[in-house]
């Protein structure tokens, strides 16, 4: 290739790459966000003024969906030191948003410790139980002779079956949301989780009693529930 | 039964390794003495394909029999009860991590067998070494399935999952998001593309090993590469359609890591295909062809590395698996080292005869094609994995939102389409100013004419949307956005105009010189010069896509409204009025609960249809899927998702996507053009074409020698 053409080729390539580079760097600076934990954000003062992406569970009662910008607080999902970050969020809240829901918030950390954000996605919190691996009610009933020691069962809360703690039958679950079909009575003395209402899919861990009821050690809402 | 599957895979691994060794040994012994070893290598390739077919069949039968002793069947069987239910039994095979890897390995074995069958009578060194490399890759895929538990498709279900009659006791099943027709087709088309792109890589390595810089290796797999790229494109398109209707956010591309993973090899694949053209016609761009073959394959593996290693968090990435991480990383680095290293080591062999004199040369356009595609792929790959990189890398440890990708993709994309439009108008080596003007005149006129309705659409319909969605945007930002949009529309019109001009001008010239009618001449060109015709049709499609992208990516109207759930109640979103009609609740035979809300939609008083957004609550999986509803008008789609119900009010998310049908139609035309380019000719026509273009490249070499000497 003659020298002039080669030089022009290199020159034009360099200009194109330079322009792309400049565009890239400027947008990266304004849109890049560091993935940090709740503790990191609370402790690391160098993050102030920077964009961060924090994942935490929404502190119950700390939010009001109607207000805009919506203020709420998040805390570490598991472990951590219990600190809480306040978030000021502009935009529509995802419809899965609520108490205990894990929110991945991307925004700028202010000097007052608050995060200003307009970018949030929500995930199902890990303290909800996953229904994968849990037995269905019908199979639990059919297999009560198998001598199961400890297992998970998933089903829908039968309407009007939930009563206050103290009785041997706390609530019933069935494989159908309207409560028809095979049901099983569950004995449970603890607090039922928020969001456990009639027709809701829950996951119960425990073991079946000889009389056909199920003794629950833990009750959680199915992780995939909205 | 599951251990039988593992046995088949182990035999397959042994076969692939045996084939590699046989082919290497046969090559060492030479053409005559090594013939038997070489033949063994070919025959074992067929054997491996048979083993994988049986393995896949095993899994398929297990799904049809609901054999839950297979953990994969337990976790991925579909709960669909519609008329498509039997199709989901088949698609369940690739619904999960392990099955999709098995499907990919099977397709690779089919491509290997096709190649082996094609070259069985010849068994030239180039083909032997190419087949050897294919079997190396095949062996690594077997290793991925055999030595990593998360990847093993033949795990046995834990005993406690099964009741006495073999029924499944746990509540696991196929993810509801995958129970959609687009998800039946999307993985297979993608994997045809991924597996197919192994062949150009294999033959590039073979050319390096055999030290043969001639076009022979390109001739062997050139058409097959187009085929693979076509299917990869189809797969990407199907994924976009699925995202649009199932994910419920009203868009078709979010720069999600998994989406980016499939796009990367498609981008460099374009460079590869065009480098092959220059290789065959002008005996040039050889180093480009070798490196892009290697880079494209490396990016194919990078895609699966991103989704299976766990280094990047995404809504659709699988859980992390260290073995996969190291294996695929090794394949990526190995592929790059072997092709680029080999090409440098054998630099003389792959020195091209692609000298050109000016930037107005066709070669220059091809060069910028390659540069832009390579840069685009590198940037997208970098931004995708940036969060896994250490802090001292620029952007290391950070995640980047769609805004970053868009900011770079839009100007690069527009520049790219401009070059794409110009390239066919240019001559090899150099285009004289007068000639260029002669060729670009009519396209410019046509662009001006096409721009009138496009700019009117921008001015009256699109511009106000941006202002409404971004009321606080600074004037400069708003101006930049609109300038970018206008330039995009005009460049799209230019690409369409040049494509049409090339057909019309070519037909007119042929009609004049051969005394044919215009129609006859046009038909003759289209049916005989299929590569060229297909290419121009594809470029036409790209121009239309660009127009669609400007509308549907840059001017989406996003509105949330509440409609009271009483018949006749209405709410307005932009110029559209939604009138509530009724809600239907329906329980399906498998216990799933379907909710559908019916709305009559009007625009400025005119009825445009009924929208039925809804939700489907899957009983077994305990998951709810949004079933969005779309009504298409020529210039925009009205997309509605039912978000929820509160206090007798229905919350709707309405998205108005302007010009989105231009994107879908443009993409369909792109696929059509590629298919035309691919369409095989009769054997006689093929011979004629090959000798013609060999003469062409010989004269190119002669011209170069003359110019230099």
Tell if the CB–CB gap between A136 and B617 is shorter than 8 Å: no
pLDDT in tens, B153-210: 999 988 777 777 777 777 678 877 788 888 899 999 999 999 999 999 999 999 999 9
* Percent above pLDDT 90 for chain B: 56
CATH 2.40.50.140 domain position(s) in chain A: 32-123, 135-221
Q: What angle do CA B96, B401, B182 make, to 5 degrees?
A: 35
| Binary contact (B399, A176; C-beta < 8 A) | no
DSSP code of residue A113? S
Whether ipTM exceeds 0.85: no
Residue A125 has pLDDT above 50, yes or no: no
Residue B357 at interface with chain A, using a CB cutoff of 8 Å: yes
Among A4, A10, A28, the strongest candidate for a mutation testing the B interface, having the largest count of B CBs within 10 A, is A28
Q: Is B670 within a domain? A: no
Are B30 and B132 in contact by the 8 Å Cβ rule? The answer is no
At B180 the pLDDT is 85
Q: Which of B359, B379, B394 sits opposite A9 (nearest CB)?
A: B359
The model's pLDDT over B529-553, given as tens digits with 9 standing for 90+, comes to 888 999 999 999 999 999 999 999 9
From the list B170, B367, B404, the residue facing A31 with the nearest CB is B404
Kindly state whether residues B201 and B310 are assigned to the same domain.
yes
pTM score = 0.83
Q: Give dist(CA B219, CA B202) in Å, integer.
A: 13
Give yes or no for residue B667 having a pLDDT over 70. yes
In sign, the C-alpha dihedral spanning B520, B524, B525, B531 is positive
Domain final position from B365, B400, B435 = B400
Domain-located, residue B469: yes
User: Average pLDDT for residues B502-523, to the nearest whole number?
Assistant: 90
Same domain, B508 and B576: no
Whether residue B563 sits in one domain with residue B550: no
Best of B398, B573, B594, B649 to disrupt the A interface by mutation (most A CBs within 10 Å)? Answer: B398
| From B218-232, B262-276, B600-614, the region with the lowest mean pLDDT | B600-614
Residues B302, B333 within the same domain = yes
Q: Which of B524, B555, B586 is the last residue of a domain?
A: B555
Mean pLDDT, residues B249-268 taken together = 89
User: Does position B674 have pLDDT exceeding 90, yes or no?
Assistant: yes
* pLDDT greater than 60 at residue A112: yes
What pLDDT is stored for residue B448 in this prediction? 95
Q: Judge whether B476 lies within some domain.
A: yes
Query: Which of A166-180, B281-295, B503-517 ranks highest by mean pLDDT?
Result: B281-295
Q: Does B170 touch chain A (CB under 8 A)?
A: yes
> Could you say which of A9, A12, A20 has the minimum Cβ distance to residue B408?
A20
pLDDT reported for residue A99 = 66
The predicted pLDDT at position B496 comes to: 96
Average pLDDT over residues A85-97: 73
Which residues of chain A have a CB within 8 Å of the CB of B395?
Answer: 28, 32
Q: Is the pLDDT of residue B701 over 60?
A: no
**Predicted pLDDT at A97:** 65
- Greater model confidence, B198 or B321: B198
Q: What percent of chain B has pLDDT over 70?
A: 93
Q: How far apart are CA B66 and CA B161, in angstroms?
A: 14
Whether residue A33 and residue B401 make contact (CB cut-off 8 A), yes or no, is: yes
Give the distance from residue A12's alpha carbon to the nearest chain B alpha carbon, in angstroms: 9
Among B169, B248, B353, B402, which would you mutate to test the A interface (most chain A Cβ atoms within 10 Å of its Cβ)?
B169
Give the model's confidence band at B79: pLDDT under 50 very low, under 70 low, under 90 confident, else very high: confident
What total number of domains does chain B contain?
5
Q: Which of A140-154, B145-159, B319-333, B469-483 has the lowest mean pLDDT?
A: A140-154
With a cut of 70, say whether residue B706 has pLDDT above it: no
Residues B190/B262, Cβ–Cβ less than 8 Å? yes
Same domain as B416, residue B354: no
Please check whether residues B308 and B279 belong to one and the same domain. yes
Chain A hits for B431, CB-CB cut-off 8 Å, are none
Query: Domain range for residue B706?
Result: 682-709
Burial grade of B30 (CB within 10 A; 0-12, 13-18, 19 or more):
exposed
Nearest to B178 by CA among B243, B249, B115: B243
My answer on whether B338 and B244 are in the same domain is yes
- What's the CATH number for A32-123? 2.40.50.140
Query: Which of A9, A92, A143 is facing B560, going by the closest CB pair?
Result: A92
| Residues forming beta bridges with residue A53, ordered by sequence position | A35, A106
Architecture of domain A135-221: Beta Barrel (2.40)
Residue B285 backbone class (left: φ over 0; alpha: ψ -120 to 50; beta: rest): left
Sorting pLDDT into bands at 50, 70 and 90, what band is B599? Answer: very high
Give the separation between CA B678 and CA B225, rounded to whole angstroms: 10
Same domain, B156 and B194: no
Residue B698 belongs to some domain of the structure: yes
Residue A98, pLDDT > 70, answer no
Instruction: Give pLDDT, residue A129.
Output: 57
Average pLDDT over all residues of chain B: 88
Residue B695 pLDDT > 90 = no
pLDDT category of residue B708 using cuts at 50, 70 and 90: very low
- Of B555, B582, B615, the one marking the end of a domain is B555
Residues B483 and B562 in one domain: no
Alpha-carbon gap: A124 to the closest alpha carbon of chain B (Å): 11
Contact between residue B579 and residue B602 where contact means Cβ atoms under 8 Å apart = yes
Q: What percent of chain A has pLDDT over 70?
A: 77
Among the ranges given (A55-69, B496-510, B619-633, B681-695), the one the predictor scored with the smallest mean pLDDT? B681-695
Choose between B84 and B371: higher pLDDT: B371
Q: B668 exposed, middle or buried (CB, 10 Å; 0-12, 13-18, 19+)?
A: middle
- B222 pLDDT band, cuts 50/70/90, is very high
- The bridge status of strand A183-187 relative to strand A214-221 is parallel
Query: Chain B window 519-578: which residues touch A at a Cβ cutoff of 8 Å?
Result: 560
For residue B700, what pLDDT is reported? Answer: 53
Q: What is the pLDDT of residue B96?
A: 86
Q: Let me know whether B130 and B212 are in one domain.
A: no
Q: What is the pLDDT of residues A130-158, one digit of tens each?
A: 566 677 888 777 765 556 666 788 888 88
pLDDT band at B589 (very low <50, low <70, confident <90, very high): confident
Interface check for B470 against chain A (CB to CB < 8 A): the answer is no
* A23-36: pLDDT as tens digits: 888 888 777 788 78
For the cut 70, the answer to whether the pLDDT of residue A37 exceeds it is yes
Segment B641-668 shows an average pLDDT of 87
Q: Do residues B433 and B548 both lie within one domain?
A: yes
Query: DSSP secondary-structure letter at A162?
Result: -
């Amino acid at each position: 290739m003659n020298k002039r053409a080669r030089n022009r080729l290199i020159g034009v390539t360099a200009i194109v790459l330079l322009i792309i580079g400049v565009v890239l760097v400027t947008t990266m600076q304004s849109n890049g966000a560091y993935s940090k934990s709740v503790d990191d954000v609370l402790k690391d003062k160098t993050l102030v003024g920077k964009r961060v992406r924090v994942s935490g569970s929404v502190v119950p009662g700390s939010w009001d969906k109607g207000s805009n910008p919506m203020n709420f607080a998040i805390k570490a999902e598991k472990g951590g030191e219990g600190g809480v970050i306040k978030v000021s969020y502009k935009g529509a809240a995802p419809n899965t948003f609520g108490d205990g829901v894990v929110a991945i918030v991307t925004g700028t950390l202010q000097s007052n410790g608050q995060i200003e954000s307009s970018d949030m996605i929500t995930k199902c919190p890990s303290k909800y139980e996953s229904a994968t691996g849990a037995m269905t009610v019908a199979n639990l009933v059919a297999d009560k002779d198998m001598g199961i020691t400890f297992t998970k069962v998933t089903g829908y809360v039968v309407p009007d079956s939930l009563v206050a703690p103290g009785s041997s039958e706390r609530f019933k679950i069935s494989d159908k949301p309207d409560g028809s079909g095979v049901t099983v009575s569950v004995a449970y003395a603890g607090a039922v989780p928020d969001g456990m209402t009639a027709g809701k899919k829950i996951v119960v861990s425990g073991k079946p009693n000889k009389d056909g009821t199920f003794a629950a050690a833990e009750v959680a809402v199915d992780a995939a529930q909205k | 039964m599951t251990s039988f599957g593992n046995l088949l895979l182990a035999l397959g691994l042994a076969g692939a390794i045996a084939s590699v060794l046989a082919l290497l040994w046969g090559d060492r012994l030479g053409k005559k003495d090594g013939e038997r070893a070489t033949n063994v290598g070919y025959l074992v390739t067929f054997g491996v394909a048979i083993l994988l077919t049986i393995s896949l069949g095993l899994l398929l039968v297990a799904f049809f029999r609901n054999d839950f002793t297979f953990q994969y069947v337990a976790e991925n069987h579909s709960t669909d009860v519609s008329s498509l239910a039997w199709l989901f039994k088949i698609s369940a095979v690739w619904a999960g991590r392990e099955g999709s890897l098995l499907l990919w390995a099977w397709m690779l074995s089919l491509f290997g067998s096709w190649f082996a069958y094609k070259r069985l009578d010849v068994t030239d060194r180039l083909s032997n070494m190419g087949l050897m490399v294919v079997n190396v890759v095949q062996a690594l895929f077997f290793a991925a399935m055999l030595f990593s538990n998360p990847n093993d498709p033949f795990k046995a279900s834990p005993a406690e999952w099964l009741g006495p009659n073999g029924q499944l006791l746990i509540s696991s099943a196929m993810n509801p998001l995958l129970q959609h027709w687009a998800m039946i087709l999307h993985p297979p088309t993608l994997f045809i593309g991924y597996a197919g792109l192994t062949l150009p890589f294999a033959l590039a390595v073979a050319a390096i090993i055999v030290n043969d810089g001639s076009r022979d290796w390109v001739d062997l797999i050139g058409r097959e590469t187009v085929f693979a790229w076509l299917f990869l494109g189809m797969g990407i398109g199907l994924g976009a359609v699925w995202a649009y209707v199932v994910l419920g956010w009203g868009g078709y591309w979010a720069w999600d890591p998994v989406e980016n993973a499939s796009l990367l090899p498609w981008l460099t694949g374009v460079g590869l295909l065009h480098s092959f053209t220059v290789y065959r016609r002008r005996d040039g761009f050889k180093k480009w062809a070798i490196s892009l073959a290697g880079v494209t394959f490396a990016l194919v593996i990078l895609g699966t590395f991103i989704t299976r290693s766990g280094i990047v968090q995404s809504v659709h990435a699988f859980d992390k698996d260290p073995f996969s991480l190291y294996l695929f990383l090794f394949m990526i680095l190995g592929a790059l080292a072997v092709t680029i290293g080999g090409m440098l080591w054998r630099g003389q062999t792959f020195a091209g005869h692609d000298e050109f004199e000016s930037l107005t040369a066709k070669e220059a356009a091809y060069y910028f094609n390659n540069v832009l595609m390579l840069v685009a792929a590198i940037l997208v790959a970098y931004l995708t994995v940036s969060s896994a990189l250490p802090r001292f890398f620029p952007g290391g440890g950070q995640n980047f939102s769609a805004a970053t990708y868009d900011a770079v993709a839009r100007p690069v994309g527009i520049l790219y389409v401009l070059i794409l439009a110009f390239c066919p108008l240019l001559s090899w080596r150099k285009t004289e100013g007068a000639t260029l003007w002669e060729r670009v005149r009519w396209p410019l006129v046509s662009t001006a004419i096409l721009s009138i309705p496009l700019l009117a659409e921008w001015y009256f319909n699109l511009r106000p949307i941006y202002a409404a969605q971004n009321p606080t945007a600074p004037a400069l930002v708003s101006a930049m956005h609109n300038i970018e949009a206008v330039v995009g529309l005009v460049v799209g019109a230019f690409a369409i105009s040049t494509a049409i001009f090339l057909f019309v001008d070519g037909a007119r010239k042929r009609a004049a010189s051969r005394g044919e009618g215009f129609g006859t001449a046009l038909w003759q060109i289209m049916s005989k010069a299929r590569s060229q015709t297909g290419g121009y049709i594809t470029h036409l499609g790209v121009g239309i896509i660009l127009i669609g992208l400007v509308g549907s990516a840059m001017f989406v109207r996003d509105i949330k409204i509440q409609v009271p759930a009483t018949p006749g109640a209405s709410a307005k979103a932009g110029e559209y009025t939604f009138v509530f009609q009724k809600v239907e609740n329906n329980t399906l035979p498998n216990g799933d609960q379907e909710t559908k809300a019916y709305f009559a939609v009007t625009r400025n008083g005119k009825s445009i249809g009924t929208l039925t957004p809804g939700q489907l609550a899957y009983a077994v999986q305990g998951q709810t899927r949004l079933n969005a509803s779309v009504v298409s008008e020529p210039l925009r789609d009205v997309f509605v998702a039912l978000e929820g119900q509160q206090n007798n009010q229905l919350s709707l998310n309405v998205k108005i996507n302007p010009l989105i049908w231009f994107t879908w139609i443009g993409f369909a035309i792109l696929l059509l053009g590629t298919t035309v380019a691919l369409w095989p000719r009769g054997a006689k026509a093929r011979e004629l074409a090959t000798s013609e273009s060999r003469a062409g490249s010989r004269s190119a070499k002669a011209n170069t020698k003359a110019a230099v000497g």
